[in-house]
Amino acid sequence: MPTQPLDASRIAPGFADPVLDAQSVFRGVLAAMARPGAIAEIDIALEPPAPLNAATAAVCLALADFDTPVWLDAAAAPAADFLRFHCGCPIADDPAEARFAVIAGALPALPPFAQGSDEYPDTSTTLLFQAGGLRPDGGWSLAGPGIAQTARIGIDGLPADFAMAWRRNNALFPRGVDLVITADRRLCCLPRTTTVRS
């Protein structure tokens, strides 16, 4: 289906300083990936269109480009023009073809997304899940690389069977998806190497 032309006058602004803001967000995501469960704050002036929160939009603006197809769940679909305009990214119809997936509704099952391969694990999908809230010392216990012993975090909105689904994701290593969880201007990361218990 041909892509309709965008009306730039109706697109919400992106980064005020595209280079410096993208670098700042990129460093924040790298630090959060290195310390699973640590909550990072996106300290950038950004007011994306609903339903995107500021952290999700910032990650997309920093990491997505014309070479990274982005899949949107039904709740996130209204943000397609914003992402196409500012990132130049194609919007994927098939979650298995996406490098990033933006999930503004319920977290779906993980198998439909690209898992990568043993030779190219980096070709998997990174999921950006908008949670209802993030707080330290919550009900989820995390362990694995980047965590000294265990870490605890509260993540509102994960499905009841998330820990079991994430164990299956762990078992695929070096394949599997990575998860970036956002809430308002905050984010934390769960790489595929992180174990999760409730």
Question: End-to-end distance of the chain based on CA atoms, in angstroms?
Answer: 43
The predicted model gives 186-192 an average pLDDT of 97
Prediction pTM value: 0.93
Please report which confidence band the pLDDT of residue 138 belongs to, taking 50, 70 and 90 as the band edges: confident
Residue type present at position 169: N
pLDDT tens, position by position, 27-84: 999 999 999 999 999 999 999 999 999 999 999 999 999 999 999 999 999 999 999 9
Domains and CATH numbers, the chain: 15-197 (3.40.50.11310)
Q: How many other β-carbons are positioned within 10 Å of the β-carbon of residue 35?
A: 17
Burial class (CB in 10 A: 0-12, 13-18, 19+), 3: exposed
More confident site: 3 or 115:
115
